[in-house]
Structure 1
Amino acid sequence: MVLKDWLARITGFEKRNDSADPSWAALAPGIGYMAGVSARAAENLSTVLACTNAIATALAYVPALVYRVDSDGNRVEAMSHPLRRIARGGANPQMTWPDWLEHLVASALLTGNGLAEIIRAGNGQLSGFRWIPWGMVTVVYLSSGRLAYDVTDGRGGTRRLLESEVLHLRDRTDDGLVGRSRLSRAADTVAGVQASNAFAKSFLERGAQPSGVIRHPGAMTLEQKASLREQFNSNYSGAANAGKTLILDGGLEWQAAQISPEDAELLESRKFGVVEVCRLFQVPPPIVQAYENNTFTNASQAGLWFATFCLAPWARKIEAEFARSVFPSNGPYELELDLSGFLRGDPATRWQAHEIALRNNVLDANEVRQIEGWNPRKAEPAGVRSPPPANQGEQSHV
């Protein structure tokens, strides 16, 4: 090892191209996939797609606020910070902030890892983010103990991004470095749901009729059997031929198999599959339009449950990753994804809470108006009082 490499290593710098670094090529494209099925194929399951969209879209929808924290711990919204402009103007020229964040979260949900390149201007100021599909990434463990990310461009070219140049959103990991998707952790469960859907598809393709037996009073040659099978499949098999009248001659008799989709519990197994996948993603079934055993009471609580136990942990992950990779170490800035819109509850409960806060001087009227998304009320000039309402003093009779 030459002197400059030794000095770079002990001071924490990494080399962008080091052929001696062991590559974790097996981890990047494959670890986020369930057994034998890619994450893209898993989205063929409607519940996987619905859960992924519900979480990713909700987090992309909420306001992204940037705060500056002073030495006393007080927070003031940083209106001039570049991240605030990015959250409103777009992550890059091709993607708005909601589009970019939705891609990042969906990738983390399906593959266990969401990766984005941090784009900075020539002066080092933050200028945007670029989402990178995880299937195009190979993770490299450098001799310094840090990670690097080799990204292919789809045309044979590769470039290396260092740990400080990316925002890496992980699902729970096995090694503390690369995330592993919950689809791969529960591969048997997802495969069972997929098998149930495949059976239903095959059942419908056969015309939604159970198979049966054709009886012949005598012996048939192999050629006769093959001809009968071909004619039967072409004329009476499939959803397009469902309901056709079956005509048999030559002493042939049809005997339907004594099994029905209810006997096979097809519908119940598919309903249970929806709940199983929802359980993997911590999404209440009503959020993905699964209303079995649903009531008005638990439906009204589904949004609160969704925000508290599903969205809030992912929002905290995103905020912590921004603190690690985007903002300077121990800097005064922090990102907050504002979930208050999900947590405020119904209007009656919310305004009762506001009334208690006003009565106990926890909030003032303008702070309540700000929470509700209204502009502050202008202060009246000294000595001037607004006229009372025209009906003041009148009693209403209901």
Structure 2
Amino acid sequence: MKPSLLSRLLGRRVAVPEAKASRTGPLLALQGQGRARWTPRDLAALAHEGFMKNAVVYRAVTMIAEAAASVPLLAYEGEAEAPDHPLLALLARPNRHQGGAELMETLYANLLVAGNAYAELVRLGAAPAELHALRPDRMRIVPGPEGWPEAYEYTAAGRTLRFEGTGAGDIAPILHLKRYHPLDDYYGFAPMEAAAVALDIHNAAGAWNKALLDNSARPSGALVYRGEGGANLSQDQFERLKRELEANYTGAISAGRPLLLEGGLDWTSMALTPRDMDFMEAKNGAAREIAFAFGVPPMLIGIPGDSTYSNYAEANRAFWRQTVLPLVGRTAAALANWLAPAYGGAIRLGYDADAVEALADEREALWRRVAAADFLSRDEKRQAVGYGAEGEGEWDG
């Protein structure tokens, strides 16, 4: 029996039974050493500066989360749809305080703002009874000896609750949804982080414009000392003036504040006007970058200057096809993979794209093409548009 990779790294021979497992897992475990790993960024700052203070981020996250939560989920056993499956009932009413759409909206929003989302399973005996969404900023992951998370620790109100991992064939109490992160083995990457520079520009431009308005939009300039006989300011006078300027007239909050000039000082305006500096275009450019990071066509948020799509309907279809439905599909697959053992393991989840009104034109075009395909049987036509076979015979529609 060969010694494990971990034992060779540590210089000890440890007899372990051979089993199917990732050969790189022990490397991750060695890196983590079983210690809890906090999410490596300030989620509170992301939420504060982005979702809570930036209208573009707020609207993008809200649009995606609400749209994704509105898509009906479908359950399948094999190829057959199971409309009365108990998993659908659990997702429709996950707990006493939330409906299914509200829970899913919370999970989607957490995934977009933090890059991570966590769901807790409450069981009554062996059967799943409730699902709850947990705050990502309160969760930390404890790596196990094989490199995979062996536990999750949730901290709130000064207390920490540990959710242990489960053995093979059982259901883990925590589902961790995450977006792809190229440099982290345990946590996901939030779209807001990719747009961090644009977010700062957008917020700073707004703060600067607000300060200019508060101070009557007066532009900046230079102080010129016109003393008698061409004399200059003394060193003490220069240092005092410099201190007063830095203390009272620097920063966005002091933008445009008028100066109180003493004898011999003259004000010479030298700054560009807000129109020349084109703050609005800078804000709109930053807003477009934020929208792109989240996968929302800028046209849908009302950002001018974007000509990627010829009309609103085309942009809306792209939003659903490229952003919303892939998110719903990945989440549905993760939920089914997590909860399937409780229902015999033969359940999968999909979504009903036919219920999306924004895709109605696509469906009608597909139905016309399929109806015109005379070489297809009725059953083949039904299967081509996503419905099960009904029987032999030609479709006269």
- The alpha-carbon distance between structure 1 residues 261 and 173, as it changes in their structure 2 partners (threshold 3 A), is same
2:89 maps to amino acid? R
Q: Deviations over 1:226-248 (max 9, x none)?
A: 8xx89xx89xx999x99x9x999
Query: What CA RMSD, in Å, does the superposition of the two structures yield over aligned residues?
Result: 4.3
Aligned residues of 1:206 and 1:238 also touching (Cα < 8 A): no
Q: Deviations over 1:283-339 (max 9, x none)?
A: 111222224345994311111111111112212220221132111298221122323
Aligned residues of 1:31 and 1:180 also touching (Cα < 8 A): no
Unpaired segments ≥5 residues, structure 1: 1-5, 13-20, 372-398
2:186 maps to amino acid? L
- The alpha-carbon distance between structure 1 residues 210 and 173, as it changes in their structure 2 partners (threshold 3 A), is same
- Matched with 1:169 is 177
Query: Is the counterpart of residue 151 in structure 1 residue 154 in structure 2?
Result: yes
Query: Is the counterpart of residue 338 in structure 1 residue 326 in structure 2?
Result: no
- Matched with 1:379 is none
Give the distance between the partners of 2:86 and 2:355, measured in 1 at CA.
24
Once the two structures are TM-superposed, the CA of residue 176 in structure 1 deviates from its matched residue by 4.3
- Matched with 1:383 is none
Query: Is the counterpart of residue 317 in structure 1 residue 327 in structure 2?
Result: no
Query: Is the counterpart of residue 326 in structure 1 residue 355 in structure 2?
Result: no
Q: Percent identity?
A: 23
Once the two structures are TM-superposed, the CA of residue 101 in structure 1 deviates from its matched residue by 1.0
Aligned residues of 2:71 and 2:356 also touching (Cα < 8 A): no
- The match for 2:104 among 95, 101, 106 is 101
Q: Deviations over 1:163-215 (max 9, x none)?
A: 61112111102344321223334543433333333333333333322134566
Give the distance between the partners of 2:80 and 2:358, measured in 1 at CA.
21
- Matched with 2:288 is 275
- Matched with 1:381 is none
Give the distance between the partners of 2:290 and 2:45, measured in 1 at CA.
16
Once the two structures are TM-superposed, the CA of residue 99 in structure 1 deviates from its matched residue by 1.4
Query: Is the counterpart of residue 40 in structure 1 residue 42 in structure 2?
Result: no
Say how many residue pairs are matched: 338
Once the two structures are TM-superposed, the CA of residue 23 in structure 1 deviates from its matched residue by 5.0
Q: Secondary structure at the match of 1:128?
A: strand
Once the two structures are TM-superposed, the CA of residue 264 in structure 1 deviates from its matched residue by 1.6
Aligned residues of 1:24 and 1:140 also touching (Cα < 8 A): yes
Aligned residues of 1:39 and 1:110 also touching (Cα < 8 A): yes
Aligned residues of 1:117 and 1:131 also touching (Cα < 8 A): yes
Aligned residues of 2:211 and 2:253 also touching (Cα < 8 A): no
Query: Is the counterpart of residue 75 in structure 1 residue 80 in structure 2?
Result: yes
Give the distance between the partners of 1:108 and 1:92, measured in 2 at CA.
20
Unpaired segments ≥5 residues, structure 2: 1-14, 22-31, 167-171, 228-232, 387-397
Give the distance between the partners of 1:50 and 1:344, measured in 2 at CA.
18
- The alpha-carbon distance between structure 1 residues 40 and 321, as it changes in their structure 2 partners (threshold 3 A), is farther
- The alpha-carbon distance between structure 1 residues 302 and 342, as it changes in their structure 2 partners (threshold 3 A), is farther
2:82 maps to amino acid? E
Q: Deviations over 1:328-368 (max 9, x none)?
A: 29822112232334476455x6445434445557769xx8x
- The match for 1:196 among 185, 205, 217 is 205
- Matched with 2:3 is none
- The match for 1:57 among 61, 66, 86 is 66
Scaled by the length of structure 2, what TM-score is found? 0.70
Aligned residues of 1:303 and 1:342 also touching (Cα < 8 A): no
Scaled by the length of structure 1, what TM-score is found? 0.69
